[in-house]
Amino acid sequence: MSASVFSPLLAEIGAEMRQSIRAPEFLIPTIALPVIFYLMFGVMLARGGTEGSTYLLATYGIFAVMGPALFGFGAGVAAEREKGWLRIKRVSPAPATGYIVAKLTSTLVFSCLALMPIYLSAGLLANVALPTQVWLVLLASHLLAAIPFSLLGLSIGFSFGSGGAVAVANLCFLGLAVLGGLWFPVMLFPGFLKTIATALPSFHLAEISLDIVNADSARPVARHLSVVAVTTLALAALAVWRWISQR
């Protein structure tokens, strides 16, 4: 019954995570970097009130899920494609979705591992206090943010060789983080950078999380949600197109 349906999927997820753990050169930076940054900017430099720490908790949470998504999918898929693993997968009877679901699960697990130290730093070191439901909704918003980034990573993985994919993933990683206002609040940006920020999914995802923690003024959440929805669909279309182009 259900076990027989899920056991191949679980096996694939297990294999996927084992593989990631065996490649710590991706894992360690993606988990450690966000919390180190948050400790520097969100805890040490944001003393004197929890406002700054709360704000950056929302944005660094988005930053934290970008790493596993972009590198796990981007670099990972590219490498496996180069090794011919994807071609084997395509001729194997196991559905291709299993491969994606396994990667996504693994991404979410590592996202949690990247998020928790940030939450703990915010709560225990920077005294950020939120109602229980807000912590949970914030976590959900951060984890859901992994989906559009995973789709972007997937497109990168399908489009570039393993070396190129790492470079492009890095470019997206830093570009989306800095220009989307995840490292420094967008309100500190000069006018033209603000315009660039509004074109990036990272900005809109961060705004949704900021609304959840109720940072400063009211935000047009519906607009941010629709931008995110449209972007996610576009990235999904891009990923499907790149997947089909493999043949």
* Spatial contact of 182 and 206, defined as CB atoms under 8 Å apart: yes
- The residue range among 34-42, 112-120, 175-183, 230-238 that interacts with another protein, by the rule CB under 8 A, is 112-120
Written as one string, the DSSP assignment of 18-82 is HHHHH-HHHHHHHHHHHHHHIIIIIIITT-SSSHHHHHHHHHHHHHHHHHIIIIIIIIHHHHHHH
28-31 own/partner pairs: CB under 8 Å, 24+ apart: 29/67, 30/67, 30/68, 30/71, 30/72, 30/110, 30/114, 31/67, 31/68, 31/110, 31/113, 31/114, 31/117
Site for another protein in 89-108 (CB under 8 A): 105
Q: Which amino acid is at 246?
A: Q
Site for another protein in 199-228 (CB under 8 A): 211-212, 214, 216-218
Q: Is 62 in the site for another protein (CB under 8 A)?
A: no
Choosing from 4, 91, 191, 222, the residue that interacts with another protein (CB under 8 A) is 191
Cβ neighbours, 10 Å, residue 136: 12
Q: Is 10 in the site for another protein (CB under 8 A)?
A: yes
Q: Is 132 in the site for another protein (CB under 8 A)?
A: yes
* Spatial contact of 121 and 41, defined as CB atoms under 8 Å apart: no
Q: What are the two backbone dihedrals, phi and then psi, of residue 148, each rounded to the nearest 5 degrees?
A: -60, -35
Q: Determine the size of the site formed for another protein (CB under 8 A).
A: 41
Choosing from 41, 135, 183, 189, the residue that interacts with another protein (CB under 8 A) is 135
Which lies closer to another protein via its Cβ, residue 16 or residue 148? 16
Which lies closer to another protein via its Cβ, residue 88 or residue 134? 134
Q: Is 14 in the site for another protein (CB under 8 A)?
A: yes
Q: Is 129 in the site for another protein (CB under 8 A)?
A: yes
Q: Is 134 in the site for another protein (CB under 8 A)?
A: yes
List residues binding another protein (CB under 8 A): 7, 10-15, 17-18, 51, 105, 109, 112-113, 116, 119-120, 122-124, 127-137, 139, 185, 187, 191, 211-212, 214, 216-218
